[in-house]
Amino acid sequence: MNIQENISLKPFNTFGIDQTARFFVTVRSIEDLKEALQFAKAENLEVFILGGGSNILLTQDLDLLVVKLEINGIKLLREDSEHVWVKSGAGEIWHDFVMYAIEQEWAGIENLSLIPGTVGASPMQNIGAYGVEIKDVFESLEALNRESLEIEVFDAESCRFGYRESVFKNELKGQYIICSVTFRLRKQPVFQTSYGAIQDTLAKNGVKTLSIRAISDAVIEIRQSKLPDPKVIGNSGSFFKNPTVSFEKYEELKDKFPAIPGYPQDKGVKLAAGWLIEQAGWKGYRNGQIGVHDKQALVLVNHGEGKGKDLMNLSQKIQDSIFEKFGVQLQPEVNFI
């Protein structure tokens, strides 16, 4: 195991923020992971687990051990007439896993194409897009208990999934490291095309017969048209969660802002955070090296040498302005480090 010192994290976060880790190590097995945790304990160091770096905003140098998780491998565990159960290492790139499933004609995650990050991060915040969430295809996960160094198994109920939430972001935050995830995928697809511009994109592309690949291609096309490539301009995709308000609050907003989009849920109406931010005048905003993307107001960007603290301050200003204009509190989807 090669533990390095004073390593720039710029290549390891999609915002491209240049902050330094005091210690850095890449682990490719559970045994390596245990060894890294033992090193940190002996040196009295905190540990930060790094996946794809697509959902973090670095605001300072990290005086700790950064563990880059690259536990890979995809394995078909079992199957029946309707489903396959597929286990993936936490270090697999999420989009690569989706593409692998499509090649095998396993359905259920095609709507989640091109979401950045790793498989291990997917249940942590219950990633979702275009009407599908991880909880819909989740079977179980294996996670290493940081204290006991024992592997424990969590089923869907014990993960307590919510909107961009799980037990690992709340009660068990910092106590476990996800090492693998098992998904239950379908042999016969159940197509989900009613969200976003999927149907319009399929029609534009002349798709006559639905397939999981056609839906994946449409989702990729939509995401690429809306979201900037982190390799071109630093960003983490959607910076804020879409807020949910009460039915009464939505009617109140509808009276003041007739064009406001709303999506009824069980416990209220989900609003489009990007629409709120755009209406508040932030779309295309730029201050030096940081700003808001000119095509998608939900995306904060680093134009080159931006600082994490400046982006954090900008996000707070956006939150304040949205609350002042609409009386709605936005919550970041990105984790501040």
Task: Write out the catalytic residue numbers.
Answer: 164, 238, 333
Handedness of CA 223, 224, 226, 231 (dihedral sign): positive
Between CA 85 and CA 186 the distance in angstroms is 9
Under 8 Å between Cβ of 181 and 90: yes
Q: Give SS3 for 228.
A: coil
Residue 134: count of CB within 10 angstroms of its CB? 25
Give the list of residues 6+ apart from residue 300 with CB closer than 8 angstroms, or none: 235, 236, 239, 290, 291, 292, 293, 311, 314, 315
Question: Measuring CA to CA, how many Å separate 302 from each of 20, 82, 330?
Answer: 17, 45, 21
Give the list of residues 6+ apart from residue 209 with CB closer than 8 angstroms, or none: none
Q: Give SS3 for 289.
A: coil
Under 8 Å between Cβ of 9 and 27: no
Give the list of residues 6+ apart from residue 155 with CB closer than 8 angstroms, or none: 139, 140
Q: Could you give the dihedral angle defined by the CA atoms of residues 290, 292, 296 and 301, in that order, rounded to the nearest 10 degrees?
A: 20
Between CA 304 and CA 314 the distance in angstroms is 16
Alpha-carbon radius of gyration of the chain: 20
